[in-house]
Structure 1
């Protein structure tokens, strides 16, 4: 299993090729959506200094929801545009910065 969490479209292309070489059926869209989710979880884990809270899709590609240790919803994260995948394709670095900013605000206000 590849441990790469893509942070840009070059890495998405590399992961897509790697997965296909391993016989894993996937698409660019699935990899981007998983990358957004995984990057958000990594940012959250870093902000809390451990994996205490979790991130899940509230509405796939449109909003993420953050749950605290008691599984209580504490905030949502949204894309700048219409969807995370579209934003990621256009400017992945901006998506990750936006995830970081929004998640940090949720952590600080909880």
Structure 2
């Protein structure tokens, strides 16, 4: 069946929409990990950016971390030096994810590409 995520695969799921956030949250709770929807969204945003970086650089050479939760993400080079900052378009990554996750994912992808092009 298309669109169905098996629970044993859910540990690797990087959500790109709220339905997948619900699936990931349920998986965490069923595995005795107490997390909030907010935490799962923040984790998912970072993991999506990290995946985009890997795709752009064809390897896991750079990283990303929250500089300010829900407000600023630092993109780090292989030495851990900040090479770029990504901020939300409308003030909150969480709100943007909840309201229009495809738009946010596209925006993040554009920002990652620009940071890589400017620093590589």
TM-score past 0.5 threshold: yes
Tell whether 2:60 aligns with 1:51: yes
Separation in structure 1 between the aligned mates of residue 25 and residue 43 of structure 2, nearest angstrom: 12
Tell whether 2:22 aligns with 1:22: no
SS in 2 for 1:2: helix
Equivalent residue for 2:94, pick from 81, 85, 98: 85
In the TM superposition, what is the alpha-carbon distance from 1:32 to its structure 2 partner? 0.2
RMSD: 1.0
Separation in structure 2 between the aligned mates of residue 33 and residue 69 of structure 1, nearest angstrom: 23
In the TM superposition, what is the alpha-carbon distance from 1:76 to its structure 2 partner? 0.5
Deviating 4+ runs (over 4 angstroms): none
TM-score w.r.t. the length of structure 1 is: 0.96
TM-score w.r.t. the length of structure 2 is: 0.88
Q: Which residue of 1 aligns with 2:11?
A: 2
Equivalent residue for 1:64, pick from 55, 62, 73: 73
Structure 1: any 5+ residue segments left out of the alignment? Answer: none
Equivalent residue for 1:97, pick from 93, 103, 106: 106
In the TM superposition, what is the alpha-carbon distance from 1:35 to its structure 2 partner? 0.3
Structure 2: any 5+ residue segments left out of the alignment? Answer: 1-9
Whichever of the two has the greater Rg, that structure is 2
Number of residues of Structure 1 aligned to a counterpart in Structure 2 = 110
**Structure with greater contact order relative to length (CA < 8 Å, sep ≥ 6):** 1
